[in-house]
Amino acid sequence: MTTRFRTRAFVICFVPFAALLAAGFWMVQQFVQSTVREGLRASLSENQAAIAGIHAKGDLQNSRFLRVVGENAALKAGMQLLLTHAGNRTARRTVEDQLRELGEHMGFDFLTVSGSDGAPLAGVVRSASGSASQLEPIDPAQLAPVRGGLFEFAGRTFQVASVPIDQDDRNFGTLSVGEYFNFSEFTTPAVLLHGGQVIASNLNGLSFSELNSALSACNGGAECDLRLRGAHWISLPVQLYAGGYALRSLDSVDRVAGPIQSRLHDLFLSLGMVCVLLALLCSMAASDSMVKPIAEVVSHLRKAARTGVLSEFQGLRSSVLEVRELAEFYNQAAVSVRAAGHNLEAAYLEFVGSLANALDARDRYTSGHSVRVSQISCAIAHAMQLSAEDVERIRIGALLHDIGKIGVADPVLQKPGKLTPEEYALVREHPTIGRRILEGVHGFAPYLAAVELHHENWDGTGYPKGLTGEDTPIDARIIHVSDAYDAMTTDRSYRSGMTHERALAILIEYAGKQFDPRIVDIFLSLTQESIATGLANGTFAGEWEEDELVVAG
């Protein structure tokens, strides 16, 4: 015990040092991560601005270049021919040849022309990336209207721009050109999303499902922090495209902060070892000065807990004033608690007896019923070799078993004749009423089962819950047999009490139906050997409702 207290004292002294050390390391670590994260944001923002500038210049050049392409006379003539002869395959081939020539000359991977209504008329697409690939015709029926931004076709993504085709200030079509969208131009990790879902990425080893899960908390145009395979990442929007496409960059905070955190970890580990050593020495010195007297106090309290007797503490010597005062106040409290316990026990027993007498006094036929049921129940419990605590609990539970009849009106409870179904229903409420009365009183919890369930039958036909077999607690099953016997042998205003032999016969008949057969067997042995004299001279008598037991004949 002394060793355990010394250990606790050591822990009490050591924990603040350890907590302070851990909190300091955590704060520095958070500060470093925050600093690195801000640096990454600034770097990514600069990259984003540079990429956006490149795209802006490219868009400007493309717009000028496309205006020149849109003025191509041969393309205009082919467009007019195709519009004049809609559906003519020769006219469409002519336009496709012109688009192929433009694409090969200018390096485009995708070209289409559309009418003024936006419906695709003809197009070509590069069959595969690389210098040896060819531009091949596209069935216009496979194309959706294309204007600009990103466009997916045949499992590939193109970056598309469009220019109107005009003749004499009249627009009669649109030319759309595009190139394969490739991540090779990006030096930082990036993902391409469409409708919030990743469709392309240059992050090796990460599946689209992992990226989608990590990016699910990011708004389309906002910067966000995320976790990817347990690591901290930062994602920034690079560019938003028409059609629900978005390009986002990603960078790992842990990858950049890792070396710094590793050095800090080594530094704090060394400092921590020094602090732990100092804390160990201080804790051992402090624990020795306080453990011994406190251990003596605790040992005395443990003995009191085992015996249930709170005796005075003698012989405590300590140089600590607070410990000596603790022993003095403890002794005063022990005297007060012991006296209060005696008074409470006496008041408790008196209260239980008064409740039982008050209930029995309502009817001259039931005088002494609760006491007799309690005596019979205790005799059964002793014969079953239950513990002393169980016997005492059953004794008091039996005294209180009918306390709920306080809530039943006298005209019903003392009616001289047979009860009506309505009146019997009121009487059947007394177990529930009894529980409600006692459950609000501190200290009566162990007796609630006896009060509420002593009318439950072995076959489940009892009340109030319809429990079967051993689902009903042993207290209630014992009291059920005792209560029934006392009821059957009691003189009532409308009938005389049964003989001892007749009551035993009924208990035997209903064993396994209303009553626990084992308890009935034990009661038969008791009545024959132990309490026959008491039964004969009227020591045991009580009340029993005829409706609670079907009496043969």
Digit-coded pLDDT (tens) for 267-302: 767 766 776 677 667 666 666 666 666 666 677 677
Residue 537's pLDDT band, with cuts at 50, 70 and 90, is very low
87 within domain boundaries:
yes
195 within domain boundaries:
no
Where among 153, 182, 211 does a domain terminate? Answer: 182
321 within domain boundaries:
no
240 within domain boundaries:
no
- pLDDT value at 343 more than 80: no
Where among 182, 199, 225 does a domain terminate? Answer: 182
Q: What CA–CA distance (Å, rounded) separates 397 from 170?
A: 104
pTM > 0.85: no
Structural domain of 373: 364-548
289 within domain boundaries:
no
Question: Residue 147 sits in a domain of what CATH number?
Answer: 3.30.450.20
309 within domain boundaries:
no
Q: What CA–CA distance (Å, rounded) separates 302 from 324?
A: 19
C-beta neighbour count of 275 within 10 angstroms:
16
Structural domains counted in the chain: 2
Residue 459's pLDDT band, with cuts at 50, 70 and 90, is very high
Q: Identify which of 478, 426, 428, 408 has the alpha carbon closest to the alpha carbon of residue 449.
A: 478
At 132-191, the pLDDT tens digits run 678 889 888 888 777 677 877 777 888 888 888 887 777 888 888 888 877 666 677 888
Q: What angle do CA 366, 370, 372 make, to 5 degrees?
A: 95
Residue-by-residue DSSP string for 127-172: SSSSTT--EEEE-GGGPPP--SEEEEETTEEEEEEEEEEEETTEEE
Ramachandran assignment for 90, one of left (phi > 0), alpha (psi -120 to 50 degrees), beta (any other): alpha
253 within domain boundaries:
no
Q: Identify which of 381, 399, 397, 395 has the alpha carbon closest to the alpha carbon of residue 526.
A: 381
Q: What CA–CA distance (Å, rounded) separates 301 from 323?
A: 14
Where among 182, 199, 217 does a domain terminate? Answer: 182
For 264, phi then psi, to 5°, come to: -65, -40
Give the SS3 label for residue 122: strand
Q: Identify which of 216, 219, 217, 185 has the alpha carbon closest to the alpha carbon of residue 202.
A: 185
39 within domain boundaries:
no
Question: Residue 410 sits in a domain of what CATH number?
Answer: 1.10.3210.10
Residue 302 tokens read as 């443990």
